[in-house]
Structure 1
Amino acid sequence: MPTPSSRYLRTAFIVGLFVILCIGGFTYKHISELSQTSKVVKDNYSLRSELELIISNLKDAEIGHRGFLLTYDSLFLTPYKESLQKVNHNLSKLDTLIVPNGEQVEKLKELKNDIKKRFNNFDKSFSLANDDMVLTQDLLFLLHEGEIRMDRIRKDITEMLDLEQRLLTHNQEINEEKIGLTPLLFYGLLIVTLVILLLAYFKMTKDLKALKENNIELEIFEKLTKQSEIVSNTSTWVWYIEENEFEFSDNLYRLVGEEPQSFEPTLENFYKYVHEEDINHLGQQINLMMREEELPFTTYRVVHKDGTIRHLRAYSKLLDDTDGDKKMFGVTIDVTNEVENYRIIEQRNQELERTNKELSAFNYVASHDLQEPLRKIQTFMSRLETKEKDHISESGQLYIQRMKSASARMRMLIEDLLQYSRTNTSEKEYLKTNMNMLLEHAKMELLDSIEEKQAKIICDDLPTMEVISFQIQQLFINLISNSLKYSKEGVPPIIEITHQEVLSKDVEEIKESLYKFHHKITFKDNGIGFEQAYAEKIFLLFNRLHGKSEYSGTGIGLAICKKIVENHKGVIMAEGKPNVGATFIIYLPFLK
């Protein structure tokens, strides 16, 4: 692609060439016009000369005519005849000197006619002359008529000379005007040419300075590029397709364990360093590159002289330069660390999978092996209380009640831990689900508590969302249960559930989210509330704001809620005010 400087220089060259052509054209035109004007002036002088010669020749003819009439000597007829020939010759020259379709043409016709009549008059007078040289009346008349004809000829010639003088004066004025304008025109064109040359010179000087600065920057960039290749374990190479030649950067030699430019950059020499198990695969990819003119990401191994094995990854793409030459630009990266890290990740994934299996086994143990002894303890305490009640002292019965309460709390704790564990380890299958249906199932799950508390639940219509169904249902159960548990004594709980779609950028807590839109679901109650200072602590595992004797629970329910929302890439927040109520706000992302 042409640069602005090259376009400017090209424009300056074209303009300069155009000015030179204009100067040449104007010069040729003015020289032609000057030549034409000079020719007109010369013709004008020639015409005047011919007219004057006609007068002179006619006078010679009259002298011969009169001498013959007086002497009747044929010797006088010789100058007469010569004058006749000369006059005819003069008239022929006048035909060539006078411009056609001009005013002089008509006057020349009149002159020719008068001259013709004058010579006719001469001829008639010769025929009337007698031998005794007596002048007759007719001859005197012809002589008188001849004088009149001669005056008319002089008048015609005088008019033609006057007209030629005017034309000569006009042509001289035009000639002088053109001669005066020509230096000014040439001088102006010369100034324009010099200005263009000066501008081109300053532009070239400026471009040379910029080119020098660019060369310095390129040298710095080249050094930085070489250094960055060393630091980042990358290298570059170029395949010149037309010449089928390669060019390797210095660091590509280092990646195969050699010094820069230590061998000729050819495929055959490079294959010597490729692992024997990867040569066929790399060769196939190179052949594909030569056919398709593009090399996809290809990973292979190279072996250094000391036996060290390094993993390299290559990629290339075709680029056309401004000259139309095809070049393949490639990048080769040392990905040994990446491959090793991937293997470590694979190992850790396997370890994580084993851990998950162990957690599943723990869930089974907790749900069966741990709860089975607890059920037996509760069964024996129930039998002891029923059958041996009369034989147990009051303090013993108090101990039994405390044991029953502790075992019940232990059962609840085990179940909550199981629930929290399932939230972490269960399969995360997201399905389009009607949220209203999940809410109804949660309400049915808590139907006894709702009726006992005489609670009122007001809910907006919820959308269909892609969620893990059982987890969202558990979320609804925990939040409604929390509102029922911490309701005011003697005041029927009112739980308001609302929904709206929001832009992520409009909400401070989610403005950095990768999703543009979020569902906002709010649970608001009129319970005992809490201090806002505890808004984050209530989501911690085993965290309780109230004593065991005031409100039952394990401190796991809201932690489960937070975990479920995080599983859905969302955010949950709490707002509270003592004796006014609590509000839980959930943001769940979605694509629109």
Structure 2
Amino acid sequence: MPTSSSRYLRTAFIVGLFVILCIGGFTYKHISELSQTSKVVNDNYSLRSELEIIISNLKDAEIGHRGFLLTHDSLFLNPYEESLQKVTNNLHKLDTLIVSNGEQVEKLKVLKSDIEKRFNNFDRSFSLANDDTILTQDLLFLLHEGEIRMDRIRADITEMLDLEQRLLIHNQEVNEKKIGLTPLFFYGLLIVTLVILLLAYFKMSKDLKALKDNNIELEIFEKLTKQSEIVSNTSTWVWYIEENEFEFSDNLYRLVGEEPQSFEPTLENFYEYVHEEDINNLGQQVNMMMREEELPFTNFRVVHKDGTIRHLKAYSKMMDETEGDKKMFGVTIDATNEVENYRIIEQRNQELERTNKELSAFNYVASHDLQEPLRKIQTFMSRLETKEKDHISESGQLYIQRMKSASARMRMLIEDLLQYSRTNTSEKEYLKTNMNMLLEHAKTELLDSIEEKQATIICDDLPTMDVISFQIQQLFINLISNSLKYSKEGVPPIIEITHQEVFSKDVEEIKESLYKFHHKITFKDNGIGFEQTYAEKIFLLFNRLHGKSEYSGTGIGLAICKKIVENHKGVIMAEARPNVGASFIIYLPFLK
């Protein structure tokens, strides 16, 4: 905004200056034209006056001429000669007054010729004059010719006066028109100038108001910035490269335990607060900053006067050279809490590593040391049932059957726990895999149960996906096994497996996902189903909807399914109706 405003003001100033120059030029031209018109009018009056004077001088010449002819007194020649000289001067003035008018110039030539002839007539009549009282015939002829010449001169002057009168009227009209336009012309230029000045004034007023508002916003922003630095434990500083001077924000002083602006912002003064073990490394980083004009994230410690040690982190980057001066803007952050949290995380990671090692040891114990005595218990119970069957009472045999059932459930529980543990701790190596192949492997593993239940499995063609192969195969095994287990008595199970690609935003459960598309794989059966209120609980570890005597199982299978789907950044849901069947819906992400 300041740039556009200053550009506008410069433009207004240039336009105003141009208008003033135009006004001066037009004024000079207009006054010149008025002066020229006035001069022409004055010349018109002067020309008329000279023409009238010529007639008067010619009359004086005639009077002198007649006086001499009548008296033969040479005194009458004086006014004649003076009139001759005056007429000559009058003609010279006329030359200067009508030089610009072609028609008048021609008439002046005729007038000069007639005047010249008239004076020639005077000269010849003087030569014929004598002392006789009676005029000669030639002299009378010359006098008569002189009268004719004089009439021609009067006619010439009359024509010139008429022409000059017309020119005078025309020049007066032009002069009056120019004089009439002059006020309007100057008033118009004045209005234009005032409009430009008013526009400039309004623009300046608007810019001043905007500048005032900006200053208020800057003051508020500065206060907020200072407050945010205090709240976030951050500070800023600027290095003016050309002058090699620094400027510290108030909170940088607080980060080193001092009051704002309590010391001069120099590197030497700041180094006094840096921990002695970190000052060499920080100095090297700052020297590199001065050479390369950039400071990467640098960690160091500072020591307050009370002995408190704080961890700081600094970073800087070159600012845009909008004004020609090179500046580097830097940020210094109090990273003490970050360092302490990192130490806590390290400690917890170490504890997790110890816990994982203990879990690994437990897995080994569960897979070897616990199962070995359990196998012996089952073996000895089998021998006892076979060899001592006749010596054991009916109640003893019932107890043996319950012990066998309990040991079988314990064995199944250990195996499921191992399976769940492997799902959590196994390496997650994703490979591009044909899902149809994994489904076939799962069906092969469950072939006995499928044939026993006379189950029918209908499946769409599944895509090739990036998955953890053995986990997806286990997912298929658990879901098919679940449908077989909870099938209706006397009704052959029908399991339908369908696949489709969906937009993530169209599905409520995955609309917030980072992936645009998902694979939707659905396992639908015609089993006993369950109430929809239990749709989330069935995926919890050890959760069972039916008693041990009704259906076998440990309540871990579906929990394993959920863990496998989560490992693949997917979602699994269940929908069911009692005595109608259940559907398990899986959404696995992919990039299209």
Q: Give the alignment's TM-score, normalised by structure 2.
A: 0.90
> Against the structure 1 CA distance between its residues 539 and 177, is the aligned structure 2 distance closer, same or farther, given a 3 Å change threshold?
same
> Against the structure 1 CA distance between its residues 66 and 540, is the aligned structure 2 distance closer, same or farther, given a 3 Å change threshold?
same
CA distance in 2, matches of 1:133, 1:503: 146
CA distance in 1, matches of 2:114, 2:498: 127
1:364-418 deviation line (CA, Å, top 9, x unaligned) = 1111111111222222223333333344344333333332222222111111111
* Shift of residue 125, structure 1, vs aligned partner: 5.3
Question: Are the counterparts in 2 of residues 453 and 493 from structure 1 also a CA contact under 8 Å?
Answer: yes
1:244-264 deviation line (CA, Å, top 9, x unaligned) = 111111211111122222211
> Against the structure 1 CA distance between its residues 442 and 153, is the aligned structure 2 distance closer, same or farther, given a 3 Å change threshold?
farther
CA distance in 2, matches of 1:105, 1:566: 117
Question: Are the counterparts in 2 of residues 69 and 133 from structure 1 also a CA contact under 8 Å?
Answer: no
1:306-337 deviation line (CA, Å, top 9, x unaligned) = 33221111122322465333322221110011
Farther off after superposition, 441-450 or 356-365: 441-450
CA distance in 2, matches of 1:367, 1:310: 50
Farther off after superposition, 64-73 or 155-164: 64-73
Question: Are the counterparts in 2 of residues 519 and 587 from structure 1 also a CA contact under 8 Å?
Answer: yes
CA distance in 1, matches of 2:438, 2:57: 138
* Shift of residue 466, structure 1, vs aligned partner: 2.5
* Shift of residue 101, structure 1, vs aligned partner: 5.6
Match of 2:159 in 1: 159
Question: Are the counterparts in 2 of residues 570 and 586 from structure 1 also a CA contact under 8 Å?
Answer: yes
* Shift of residue 170, structure 1, vs aligned partner: 2.5
> Against the structure 1 CA distance between its residues 137 and 317, is the aligned structure 2 distance closer, same or farther, given a 3 Å change threshold?
farther
Match of 2:555 in 1: 555
CA distance in 2, matches of 1:27, 1:141: 62
CA distance in 2, matches of 1:313, 1:133: 141
Farther off after superposition, 12-21 or 48-57: 12-21
1:91-118 deviation line (CA, Å, top 9, x unaligned) = 3332322253644333334333444444
> Against the structure 1 CA distance between its residues 148 and 577, is the aligned structure 2 distance closer, same or farther, given a 3 Å change threshold?
farther
Match of 1:225 in 2: 225
CA distance in 1, matches of 2:517, 2:160: 104
> Against the structure 1 CA distance between its residues 427 and 66, is the aligned structure 2 distance closer, same or farther, given a 3 Å change threshold?
same
CA distance in 1, matches of 2:153, 2:216: 92
CA distance in 2, matches of 1:92, 1:74: 28
> Against the structure 1 CA distance between its residues 146 and 450, is the aligned structure 2 distance closer, same or farther, given a 3 Å change threshold?
farther
Partner-residue secondary structure (3-state), 1:452: helix
1:545-571 deviation line (CA, Å, top 9, x unaligned) = 122222221111111111111122221
1:159-181 deviation line (CA, Å, top 9, x unaligned) = 22222222222322332333333
* Shift of residue 121, structure 1, vs aligned partner: 4.7
* Equivalent runs, 1:413-428 vs 2, <5 Å: 413-428=413-428
Partner-residue secondary structure (3-state), 1:320: coil
> Against the structure 1 CA distance between its residues 166 and 437, is the aligned structure 2 distance closer, same or farther, given a 3 Å change threshold?
farther
Question: Are the counterparts in 2 of residues 569 and 588 from structure 1 also a CA contact under 8 Å?
Answer: yes
Partner-residue secondary structure (3-state), 1:541: coil
Question: Are the counterparts in 2 of residues 521 and 587 from structure 1 also a CA contact under 8 Å?
Answer: yes
CA distance in 1, matches of 2:223, 2:435: 61
Match of 2:511 in 1: 511
* Shift of residue 350, structure 1, vs aligned partner: 1.9
Provide structure 2 residue ranges, at least 5 long, that are not aligned to the other structure.
none
Question: Are the counterparts in 2 of residues 72 and 133 from structure 1 also a CA contact under 8 Å?
Answer: no
Farther off after superposition, 317-326 or 29-38: 317-326
1:418-463 deviation line (CA, Å, top 9, x unaligned) = 1111111112222333323322322222222233333333333333
CA distance in 2, matches of 1:525, 1:38: 118
* Shift of residue 51, structure 1, vs aligned partner: 2.0
* Shift of residue 243, structure 1, vs aligned partner: 1.5
Partner-residue secondary structure (3-state), 1:151: helix
> Against the structure 1 CA distance between its residues 558 and 146, is the aligned structure 2 distance closer, same or farther, given a 3 Å change threshold?
farther
Partner-residue secondary structure (3-state), 2:2: coil
1:512-554 deviation line (CA, Å, top 9, x unaligned) = 2233332222222222222111111111111111222222211
CA distance in 1, matches of 2:248, 2:167: 84
* Shift of residue 270, structure 1, vs aligned partner: 1.1
CA distance in 1, matches of 2:295, 2:127: 119
> Against the structure 1 CA distance between its residues 42 and 394, is the aligned structure 2 distance closer, same or farther, given a 3 Å change threshold?
same
CA distance in 2, matches of 1:532, 1:288: 66
> Against the structure 1 CA distance between its residues 135 and 238, is the aligned structure 2 distance closer, same or farther, given a 3 Å change threshold?
same
* Shift of residue 129, structure 1, vs aligned partner: 6.5
* Shift of residue 583, structure 1, vs aligned partner: 1.4
Number of aligned residue pairs: give it.
592
Partner-residue secondary structure (3-state), 1:3: helix
Partner-residue secondary structure (3-state), 1:321: coil
CA distance in 1, matches of 2:495, 2:107: 126
Question: Are the counterparts in 2 of residues 542 and 556 from structure 1 also a CA contact under 8 Å?
Answer: yes
1:252-300 deviation line (CA, Å, top 9, x unaligned) = 1111122222211111111222223322332232233223333222222
> Against the structure 1 CA distance between its residues 133 and 294, is the aligned structure 2 distance closer, same or farther, given a 3 Å change threshold?
farther
CA distance in 1, matches of 2:118, 2:556: 148
Farther off after superposition, 318-327 or 473-482: 318-327
Match of 1:211 in 2: 211
* Shift of residue 195, structure 1, vs aligned partner: 5.2
* Shift of residue 496, structure 1, vs aligned partner: 2.3
Match of 1:582 in 2: 582
> Against the structure 1 CA distance between its residues 586 and 41, is the aligned structure 2 distance closer, same or farther, given a 3 Å change threshold?
same
* Shift of residue 3, structure 1, vs aligned partner: 5.1
* Shift of residue 42, structure 1, vs aligned partner: 1.7
> Against the structure 1 CA distance between its residues 152 and 385, is the aligned structure 2 distance closer, same or farther, given a 3 Å change threshold?
farther
> Against the structure 1 CA distance between its residues 231 and 154, is the aligned structure 2 distance closer, same or farther, given a 3 Å change threshold?
same
> Against the structure 1 CA distance between its residues 115 and 440, is the aligned structure 2 distance closer, same or farther, given a 3 Å change threshold?
farther
CA RMSD between the two structures: 2.9
> Against the structure 1 CA distance between its residues 61 and 403, is the aligned structure 2 distance closer, same or farther, given a 3 Å change threshold?
same
Provide structure 1 residue ranges, at least 5 long, that are not aligned to the other structure.
none
CA distance in 1, matches of 2:239, 2:133: 121
Question: Are the counterparts in 2 of residues 436 and 461 from structure 1 also a CA contact under 8 Å?
Answer: yes
* Shift of residue 591, structure 1, vs aligned partner: 3.2
Q: Give the alignment's TM-score, normalised by structure 1.
A: 0.90
Question: Are the counterparts in 2 of residues 318 and 328 from structure 1 also a CA contact under 8 Å?
Answer: yes
1:468-527 deviation line (CA, Å, top 9, x unaligned) = 222222112211221222222333323222223322222211222233332222222222
CA distance in 2, matches of 1:368, 1:81: 164
* Shift of residue 64, structure 1, vs aligned partner: 4.6
1:29-73 deviation line (CA, Å, top 9, x unaligned) = 332222222222222222222222332333344445555655666
CA distance in 2, matches of 1:581, 1:353: 44
Farther off after superposition, 565-574 or 137-146: 137-146
> Against the structure 1 CA distance between its residues 476 and 141, is the aligned structure 2 distance closer, same or farther, given a 3 Å change threshold?
farther
> Against the structure 1 CA distance between its residues 97 and 286, is the aligned structure 2 distance closer, same or farther, given a 3 Å change threshold?
farther
Farther off after superposition, 42-51 or 11-20: 11-20
CA distance in 2, matches of 1:559, 1:127: 159
> Against the structure 1 CA distance between its residues 99 and 528, is the aligned structure 2 distance closer, same or farther, given a 3 Å change threshold?
farther
CA distance in 1, matches of 2:494, 2:135: 163
